[in-house]
Amino acid sequence: MHLGLSEEQEAVRRLARDFVDREVTPHAVAWDRAEEVDRSLVKKLGEVGFLGLTIDEEYGGSGGDHLAYCLVTEELGRGDSSVRGIVSVSLGLVAKTIAAWGDEEQKRRWLPGLTSGAYLGCFGLTEPGTGSDAGNLTTRAVREGDEYVINGTKMFITNGTWADVVLLFARSTDDPGHKGVSAFLVPTDTPGLTRRALHGKLGLRGQATAELVLEDVRVPASALLGAEGKGFSVAMSALAKGRMSVAAGCVGIAQAALDAAVRYAGEREQFGRTIAHHQLVQELISDIAVDVDAARLLTWRVADLVDRGLPFAVESSKAKLFASEAAVRAANNALQVYGGYGYIDEYPAGKLLRDARVMTLYEGTSQIQKLVIGRALTGVSAF
Ligand code: FAD
């Protein structure tokens, strides 16, 4: 078993590191304070190929495997989780899902724009009344001739106010639970679709998170992604890979926490020597380091399973569960190393902690990941 990277993967990682050190990290604090990532970054992400990873070149993608995708995602997460999320949603949840489930016309219509950064995508599953219990969503799509008429509200939608297309989940048949759910590709400029930005988030402040309201939104029947009633499978397949991407972003947060803690411990002096000399500071740092390695190895395992075409959904839940909790611990430990300076935003630890916290909540809370893992082990669904 070789855990090393291939030459191509090393090259992608170097490219991502350079890009993040140049285009992302220097601006992350300003974007966080302004509550907006500079939108011109999306085009740059497209140009460097990071919005097209794993997508076929004939649709504008930049190819590559899922390990390369995780390496880029980790680097983006190291620089700014807001940027990481923009990419994970537009590429990971939307473009990759269109590539997997779309017909030829849908792929040609959306993928070149999504991979180049001309378009951004968002993923509309959560509603005000249904979060963890997404299969019971209430947004309704009613067939009228060659069209569907959609009504409902979507909540907490990443990229919501920026996106050009929403991968939207709505109930289109009378079947109860997830059986009646279908997936639709809805252009966000469709009449009847309005978006309201959500402000005051604890972290990920650079992202455009929004509520989407759909009032008599009409889309052609060709907007249906996958078969009618298969929408929940579309959503779950997207989220299984999405959790790998969240895990990779969390590795990036933990790595940033480690880098910052080591740097600061070597500079700050107390009791006549740098705090790196104090054993309890070394304990904080070594705890972060172990979390980084463990989270990274779990994440790489998922990528390897995906690339080999093997089942990966449960392993993805394990990686997401561990890496998100590890990122919170790592950022919190780094903040402790910084002492009082960790509590102000001139220093990186506070933002890392705020950004990390949501990773245990979205794309399935930590409790939901445990239920996925528990169901696989016991054969009993405890949802
Ligand atoms: P609830 O489901 O109400 O859960 C509340 C608590 O109950 C949690 O602790 C949960 O773990 C627990 N709980 C619920 N059911 C069970 C159970 N069966 N057993 C044990 N515990 C349980 N959604 C999208 O569709 N697209 C996006 O792009 C998107 N981006 C987001 C960005 C941000 C910043 C945030 C905060 C959320 C985003 N979400 C998005 C929504 C996110 O996925 C949901 O918030 C998440 O699924 C949890 O749902 P909820 O908030 O309704 O919590």
Note the pLDDT tens digit of each residue in 172-213. 988 888 999 999 999 999 999 999 999 999 999 999 999 999
Cα 210 to ligand 1 centre (Å): 15
CB-based contacts of 280, cutoff 8 Å, min separation 6: none
Per-residue pLDDT at 176? 86
Q: Which of 166, 362, 369, 375 most suits a substitution to test ligand 1, by most atoms within 8 Å of the C-beta? A: 362
Half-sphere exposure of 271 (CA within 13 A, CB side): 6
What three-state secondary structure class fits 55?
coil
Q: What was the ipTM of the complex prediction? A: 0.99
Distance between CA atoms of 379 and 373, rounded to whole angstroms? 10
Distance between CA atoms of 284 and 296, rounded to whole angstroms? 19
- Its pTM stands at 0.98
Stated as kind and residue range, the H or E segment containing 41 is helix 40-47
* Protein residue with least CA distance to atom 5, ligand 1: 132
Distance between CA atoms of 111 and 300, rounded to whole angstroms? 26
pLDDT 10s digits, 287-334: 999 999 999 999 999 999 999 999 999 999 999 999 999 999 999 999
Per-residue pLDDT at 128? 98
Closest by CA to 163, choosing from 203, 190, 201, 141, is 190
Q: For the residues 211-239, what does the mean pLDDT come to?
A: 97
What number does the ligand 1 atom closest to the CA of 365 have? 11
* Protein residue with least CA distance to atom 52, ligand 1: 131
* Protein residue with least CA distance to atom 39, ligand 1: 156
Catalytic residues: 363
Query: What proportion of the chain, given as a percentage, has pLDDT over 70?
Result: 100
Distance between CA atoms of 222 and 219, rounded to whole angstroms? 8
Per-residue pLDDT at 1? 76
CB-based contacts of 6, cutoff 8 Å, min separation 6: none
Q: For the residues 69-86, what does the mean pLDDT come to?
A: 98
